Amino acid sequence: MASFKSSTRTIPDIVRVPRHVAIIMDGNGRWAKKYFLPRFAGHSRGVETVREAVRYCLGRGIGYLTLFAFSSENWRRPVEEVSLLMQLFTKALKQEVAKLDDNGVRLKVVGDVSRFDARLQELIHDAEITTAANDKLTLTVAANYGGRWDIVQAVNRMAAEHPEKRGEWTEDDLAAHLAMKHAPEPDLFIRTGGEERISNFLLWQLAYTEFYFTETLWPEFNATAFDLAIASYQQRERRFGRVSEQLTGGGDTASGEAPPTDAKSHA
Ligand code: IPE
Ligand code: IPE
Ligand code: MG
C-alpha cells in the first residue's frame, strides 16, 4: 500500500494543482427552496453537480476528490429525507459505476457502511471491486462518515493489531488505520452553501489543508465556481510551520524537518 507524507511529520510537496480536493457539498435544501421545489429535488440536482465535479477533476489532473455525502449526524434528519437520500445513493451507484470505470475512476466509500441496508452495502462493495485498479482519479464518497468515528475506529484497530506497543503508538501508526489511508491529506477543502464549519468531516486529515468557503449552493457549484476555488488555493502561501523567507530560499532553509513530535510520555 502506498503511504503518503504526513503534514505534521514531514513537509509535503507544495503543488500548484491540488492533488486532493475534499468537499462538503452543502446547500441542496436551500437551492430547492429558492426554486420552490421539495428538498429532494435539491439532492437530485446535487448528484448532477457531483458528475460535473468528477469531470472537472479528470480534466484538471486532480488525482483525488473526496465528497461528504452523508454525515454520521445526518441520521437526525426526518426519516423520509434519510430514506430518500439512501435511495438516491443506491440509484447513483447503479447508474454511474460503469461510467466511472470507463473514465478510469477508482471509487472508494468511507464511513460506517454497516448501518446501510444489505443491498446498498453490496453495491458499494461491488463498485469498489470493479474500479479498484483505476488510477486517473480516486473518488471517495464519505457516507455515514464522521471524523470522530474515524479516529475512534482507527484507535481501536491499531490497539487490537499492536497491543504490545501500548503507550508507544505514533501518529503514523494511527494514520495507517484511518479510513482515508488510501489518499494523501487534502490540499484544498471546499464547503459550499455559506456555512463556515467542518461538521465532523476529516478532522485528522485537514490539519494543514487550505480552506475555501463559498456562498454558492452545491447544485450551482459549476466549473467556473470550481476554478475560483482553485485560483484562491493557488494564492495561498503554505508554510507548514515555517516562515515565509524559508519558502523563497532567503532564510534558514535547513531541512525543515521537525524533531519527533510523538509524545512518548504524558503528564
Ligand atoms: C447537503 O445539503 C446534502 C446533505 C447533507 C445530504 P443540505 O441538505 O444540507 O442542504 P441545506 O443545508 O439544507 O441547504
Ligand atoms: C454536512 O452538511 C454533511 C454533508 C454535506 C453530507 P450538513 O448540512 O448536514 O451540516 P450541518 O449539520 O448543517 O453543519
Ligand atoms: Mg446543510
Per-residue HEC secondary structure of 175-242 comes to HCCCCCCCCCCCCEEEECCCCCCCCCCCCCCCCCCEEEECCCCHHHCCHHHHHHHHHHHHCCCCCCCC
Beta strands in 54-164, from DSSP E residues, in sequence order: 64-71, 105-110, 137-145
Q: Which atom of ligand 1 is nearest to the CA of 70?
A: 6
Instruction: Indicate the top mutation candidate among 24, 26, 70, 76 to test ligand 1's pocket, ranked by most ligand atoms within 8 A of CB.
Output: 26
* Unique residue bearing C-alpha cell 466549473: 223
Report pLDDT for 187. Answer: 98
Q: Which amino acid is at 227?
A: D
**CB-CB contact of 54 with 105 (8 Å):** yes
pLDDT at 250: 55
Q: How far, rounded to the nearest angstrom, does the alpha carbon of residue 88 sit from its chain's CA centroid?
A: 20
CA 257 / ligand 1 centre spacing (Å): 41
The CA 26 to ligand 2 mean position distance, Å, reads 6
Domains contained in the chain, CATH given: 20-75+140-234 (3.40.1180.10)
Q: Directed axis angle between helix 79-102 and helix 118-131, to 10°?
A: 20
**CA-193 nearest atom, ligand 2:** 8
Tell me the residue type at 64: Y
pLDDT means over runs of 10, the chain (267 residues): 83 93 98 98 98 98 98 98 98 98 98 97 98 98 98 97 94 96 98 98 98 98 98 96 85 50 45
Mutation pick for ligand 2 pocket among 43, 72, 74 (CB with most ligand atoms within 8 Å): 74
Give the pLDDT score at 265: 43
Nearest ligand, CA 71: 2
- Calculate how far, in angstroms, residue 199's C-alpha sits from the geometric centre of ligand 1: 12
Radius of gyration of the chain (CA): 19
**184 and 19 in contact (C-beta within 8 Å)?**
yes
Q: Which helix (H) or strand (E) holds 41?
A: helix 39-60
Residue among 185, 213, 210 nearest 199 (CA):
213
213 lines ligand 1 (CB under 6 A): no
- What is the predicted pLDDT for the residue at 266? 42
Which amino acids are annotated catalytic? Answer: 26, 74
